[in-house]
Amino acid sequence: MNSGNWQWNTFFEAFPVVVEGLGITLGLTVATYLFALIFGFVWTLLSAIRITPIRWLFRWIMEFIRSTPPLVQLFFIFYAWPMVPIVGFALDPFTSAIVGLGIHFSTYIGEVYRSGIEAVEKGQWEAAKALNFSTGQKWSKIILPQAIPPTIPMLGNYLIIMFKEIPLASTIGVAGILNLANSYGSANFRYLEPLTIVALLFLLLSYPSAILINKLERRMNRRFDKKEKSGSKPLKEEKEGAAS
Amino acid sequence: MIINAIAEIFPTLMQGLRITIEVLLGSIILGYLMAFVAGLCRLSKNPIIKYITIFYVEVFRGTSLIVQLFWLFYALPILFGISLGSDYLAGVLAIALNYGAYMSEIVRGSILSVAKGQTEAATALNMSRFQRMRLVIFPQAVRMMLPEFGNYLIQMLKATSLVSLIGMTDILYYGDILRGNNLSQAPTVYFLILVFYFIMALPLIWLTRKMETASKKGVAS
């Protein structure tokens, strides 16, 4: 426990250098998240295709993307995509990170959408049919308004999970906080303080967000799950849940 | 031409397979161990043990794995003047501590969700606290943990690719060398690496499904 190894002046010197990357890190998080939200919808559509072999093909592609490392996918987009004959073209590091990490997480987001849609009760679909709703009306007026809200906490969780995967982009040179900390470290031969700053920043940002999402989840559960059950017992459970 | 390229790349990537599998196995064993230890400590009545565990779990869940890996590898040796001795230990520790923290929440949640009547029944049978946990609560909790535990197997496999960043000679490390030698090979190299990981993931996906069915078996829901 030799505290002499920790240098406060290095800490204060490195702090502004590292914090400068925060904008890039947060910007990349938001951009990647939006990409994944949109692309996730594509997966949901593709895996709902009625033609079985095609549906299976897309399900397997999703499984492939989901169970292989995002770091390798990132390298594929950044180093290999420009070399792919005919269709390949070069992307800058920031865009590569959006596409590489965005595609990886879109497969998860797609599953979230799917679970939300499948959770809408069968009776609702039947009712839409019975009332002679068109496909557009059915989705916009009945299915989606019920399918989307319960998935919001899950989507929020994925935002936090993605935020923590964003520093992978430092490996291809996106100048986020981890990248700047590493450059500071190699320039000054001091890794301890800058890396600790990075860890602190992540903790400071993700911990309060996680608490917020948790609260949101509890509120959603109250609105969407327990309302359907009548009687006094669920109400009591609800109170206990809120207090703990 | 592609066949030739694959024939050239394949054996090089195979050299890294052993390290990847070694890191994966080490992480799985240590990760599950951490999950059970931290999950049980979190439920301890001793406030010191409980709050130290909460601190560990929140710190490791709140920061990135890649940051933890770099911190263990570059920063820890400076802070305490001790080196972990090997990059293998740093890699396995980072993955195991990270996923152990996530999985400890599953352990805790499962134990807490075993019906209260079970504890009461065990108390009525005059079992000690330890007996209650070992014979009644734990066996029921473990089956609830299985599906989530399976998912984390694949997460840990994906995480092993990070150890190439601290210089371990895993599949990705050899892939990067191949790319450095011949940039035009990059698409084949990285696609093959992805296929390598997918083939390793297949038994884990299968195992996860098995664990899911095992967990549902004989349970009225």
pLDDT bin (cut points 50, 70, 90) of residue B4 is confident
Q: How far is A101 from chain B (nearest CA, A)?
A: 13
Across the interface, of A67, A80, A168, the residue whose CB is closest to B190 is A80
**In this prediction, what percent of chain B has a pLDDT beyond 70?**
97
User: In angstroms, rounded to a whole number, what is the distance separating the alpha carbons of residues B170 and B179?
Assistant: 15
Domains of chain B: 2-216 (1.10.3720.10)
A189 token code pair: 């031969």
Domain count, chain A: 1
A231 φ/ψ sector (left φ>0, alpha ψ -120 to 50, else beta): left
User: In angstroms, rounded to a whole number, what is the distance separating the alpha carbons of residues B187 and B183?
Assistant: 9
Res. B34: pLDDT tops 60: yes
- Write the pLDDT tens digit of every residue in A11-35: 998 999 999 999 999 999 999 999 9
Quote the pTM value. Answer: 0.87
CATH of the domain at A114: 1.10.3720.10
* Cβ atoms < 10 Å from Cβ of B195: 13
- Kindly state whether residue A19 falls inside one of the protein's structural domains: no
- The b-or-e profile of A101-115 (16+ CB within 10 A means b, else e) is bbbbbbbbbbbbbbe
B contact test, residue of A6, A26, A65, A79 with most B CBs within 10 A: A79
* Nearest residue of chain A to residue B64 (CA atoms): A164
SS (H, E, C) chain A: CCHHHCCHHHHHHHHHHHHCCHHHHHHHHHHHHHHHHHHHHHHHHHCCCCCHHHHHHHHHHHHHHHCCCHHHHHHHHHHHHHHCCCCCCCCCHHHHHHHHHHHHHHHHHHHHHHHHHHCCCHHHHHHHHHCCCCHHHHHHHHHHHHHCHHHHHHHHHHHHHHHHHHHHHHHHCCCCHHHHHHHHHHHHCCCHHHHHHHHHHHHHHHHHHHHHHHHHHHHHHHHHCCCCCCCCHHHHHHHHHHHC
Q: How far is B38 from chain A (nearest CA, A)?
A: 19
Mean pLDDT of chain B: 90
Question: Which parts of chain A have pLDDT scores under 70?
Answer: 1-4, 224-244
- Kindly state whether residue A203 falls inside one of the protein's structural domains: yes
**A60 Cβ under 8 Å from any chain B Cβ:** no
pLDDT at A68: 95
pLDDT at A243: 35
**A56 Cβ under 8 Å from any chain B Cβ:** no
- Write the pLDDT tens digit of every residue in B186-218: 899 999 999 999 999 999 999 999 998 888 887
* Chain B residues touching A183 at Cβ < 8 A: none
Mean pLDDT (whole number) for B26-43: 95
Express the helix, strand and coil content of chain B in percent, nearest 5 each.
Answer: 85, 0, 15
For residue A189, give its domain range. Answer: 24-243
**A203 Cβ under 8 Å from any chain B Cβ:** yes
Assess contact for A190 and A92: CB atoms under 8 A: no
- Kindly state whether residue A11 falls inside one of the protein's structural domains: no
* Chain B residues touching A185 at Cβ < 8 A: 74
Assess contact for B65 and B163: CB atoms under 8 A: no
- Write the pLDDT tens digit of every residue in B48-64: 999 999 999 999 999 99
- Kindly state whether residue A12 falls inside one of the protein's structural domains: no
- Kindly state whether residue A143 falls inside one of the protein's structural domains: yes
- Kindly state whether residue A85 falls inside one of the protein's structural domains: yes
Q: In angstroms, what CA-CA distances link B27 with B6, B54, B57, B92?
A: 30, 21, 17, 5
Angle between helix A22-46 and helix A177-188 axes, rounded to 10 deg: 140
User: In angstroms, rounded to a whole number, what is the distance separating the alpha carbons of residues B27 and B86?
Assistant: 15
Assess contact for A195 and B67: CB atoms under 8 A: yes
Q: How far is B186 from chain A (nearest CA, A)?
A: 5
Q: In angstroms, what CA-CA distances link A108 with A40, A138, B103?
A: 7, 25, 19
- Kindly state whether residue A69 falls inside one of the protein's structural domains: yes
Mean pLDDT (whole number) for B18-47: 94
pLDDT bin (cut points 50, 70, 90) of residue B220 is low
- Kindly state whether residue A59 falls inside one of the protein's structural domains: yes
Q: How long is chain A?
A: 244
Rg (CA), chain A: 23
